[in-house]
Structure 1
Amino acid sequence: MNRRRNVWISAAAAVLSALLVYGVYLLQLRQVEFQETVAVIVPNRFVPAGERITKDMLGVKQVAKASYNSEMVLDVEAVNGMEAVVPLGQGEPLLQWKVDKFRLLPSRTQSTFQIPRDYVLSVSNGIRAGDKVVLYLTGEEIVSERLFEQPVTVASVKSSANIEIDDTTNPNLMSLASGDKEKMYASRRDANGMIDYINLNLQEEQWLELDSLCKAGKARIVIAYSSQSLDIMDAAYTQTEAGS
């Protein structure tokens, strides 16, 4: 009986010893990982949203390899000339989603189309460059409906004098980028000018669909401001707080 008990005790001791050795190994491995660092790009000063980034604004900071994620920027050249989408804190690792090169330019699958005036029944005067808009199709002989499932981006809105419509003392894009809803609202309220030309970033198939529906003159579109512009701003600031 004692012999069997001694065997179990020895086996248990061997298992515990093995677990202890394995635990020490994992602890040492974790310490080695923390000791390894990665050089990431950080702003050397506070950068407000909307400001264009230059090399002299950036520095390098060593972070533990265990803390590194793929969104962190490693090369200064990769962000040189881009705009800050949200405010960038001094010394905080620069993340790819926080910067963009040309936010008003179309993506790889899009082109910028100026919508012919005779295609448009009405356009909200509160629309500004950078906003998300929803298109609705309407006409006497058709059933009114939403044209595209997803909102599209406004590249520019101009008056008949080919002047961008905005409040020059409080540009809408700066307020949108800075996350200031009050100033963004004020820029729409104080901007003067009737929208005569509107440019939208559309995929080729979207433009072809819109053109085929409107070129006969039986249908026109209503362009409405989408609250998704504000949702994107809120999402960006949520990610900023989460990453802080």
Structure 2
Amino acid sequence: MNRRRNAGIGLLAALLSGLLVYGLFQLQKLQVTRQETVEVVITKQFVEAGKRLTEEDVAYKRIPREGYTKEMLVDLKQAVGMDTVIPLGSNEPILGWKIDRYHLLPADSESTFQIPRDYIRSISNGIRAGDKVTLYLSGENEPSRRILDSLVTVASVKSSSNVEIDNMKDPNLLSLAEGDKERMYASRRDANGMIEYINLNLTEPQWLQIDSYCKDGLHKLVIAYSPESLQLEEEDRQ
């Protein structure tokens, strides 16, 4: 009996010793993993552009430290409630420039104004939501001139059927955000529909200035796409 008991105790001691060694190994492995990886915020599934992220859309994931960049989010609170500027893939680390809060809404000092059609002489067909545009004033018997010193953000551009104009297969905002000039050019070229309605984010003085010039019908706006739009996007990403 004593021999069996001693054998059982020895076996139990060996088993406990093995479990202790295994536990220490797993603890060391976890510490090494944490030292060599970084926990970042990812999307659980594909998220289309323009969607507001919720807690159900995002999660944490550890990635190799060498694959981490400072643009990657490391706190869920940084992502929840933000709008996606471009589509995000499943399990994709979220970069700060790919999301924004109320991306196309006006700033605190601005409102979104739909410009009356009879105020407009021409609109560049290449203009898309999110672009920065330059406004010119064209009069019948006087030289044309720039009416506002600063660029203006386009909130939306729509066709006569009230549909946002863009190339759905290759959205302009995606190419613009990624800084891909070739794809952006192709997206604007291939988009269907004539611009019938345009909404601009303006301050009150800017709108009153436009309205005072155009309401009598003697002056009209020429709305032109500005190449500074892409330059500003590149500066924001940097």
Tell me the TM-score normalized by structure 2. Answer: 0.67
Q: Where do 1:152-191 residues align within 5 Å?
A: 152-191=152-191
The alpha-carbon distance between structure 1 residues 147 and 185, as it changes in their structure 2 partners (threshold 3 A), is same
Q: CA deviation at 1:220?
A: 0.6
Q: Report if the CA contact (8 A) 1:133-1:225 is conserved.
A: yes
Q: Where do 1:104-123 residues align within 5 Å?
A: 104-123=104-123
Q: Report if the CA contact (8 A) 1:41-1:93 is conserved.
A: no
Matched, 1:80 2:80: yes
- State the AA in 2 paired with 1:76: L
Q: CA deviation at 1:75?
A: 5.9
Q: CA deviation at 1:73?
A: 7.3
Identity of aligned residues (%): 55
Q: Report if the CA contact (8 A) 2:128-2:156 is conserved.
A: yes
Matched, 1:57 2:69: no
User: The residue matched to 2:187 in structure 1 has which SS?
Assistant: helix
Q: What stretches of structure 1 of length at least 5 have no aligned partner?
A: 1-39, 62-68, 240-244
Q: CA deviation at 1:183?
A: 1.4
CA distance in 2, matches of 1:144, 1:81: 43
CA distance in 2, matches of 1:215, 1:51: 34
Q: Where does residue 131 of structure 1 map in the other structure?
A: 131
Deviations 1:18-55 (A, max 9, x none): xxxxxxxxxxxxxxxxxxxxxx9832469999575443
The alpha-carbon distance between structure 1 residues 94 and 168, as it changes in their structure 2 partners (threshold 3 A), is closer
Q: Where does residue 42 of structure 1 map in the other structure?
A: 40
CA distance in 1, matches of 2:79, 2:188: 31
CA distance in 2, matches of 1:147, 1:219: 11
Q: CA deviation at 1:87?
A: 9.6
User: The residue matched to 1:189 in structure 2 has which SS?
Assistant: helix
Q: Where do 1:83-94 residues align within 5 Å?
A: 83-85=83-85
Count the aligned residue pairs: 190
RMSD in angstroms over aligned alpha carbons?
Answer: 3.4
Tell me the TM-score normalized by structure 1. Answer: 0.65
Matched, 1:144 2:147: no
Matched, 1:223 2:237: no
- State the AA in 2 paired with 1:43: V
The alpha-carbon distance between structure 1 residues 124 and 232, as it changes in their structure 2 partners (threshold 3 A), is same
Q: Where does residue 194 of structure 2 map in the other structure?
A: 194
Q: CA deviation at 1:137?
A: 0.5
CA distance in 2, matches of 1:113, 1:219: 18
Q: What stretches of structure 2 of length at least 5 have no aligned partner?
A: 1-37, 63-69
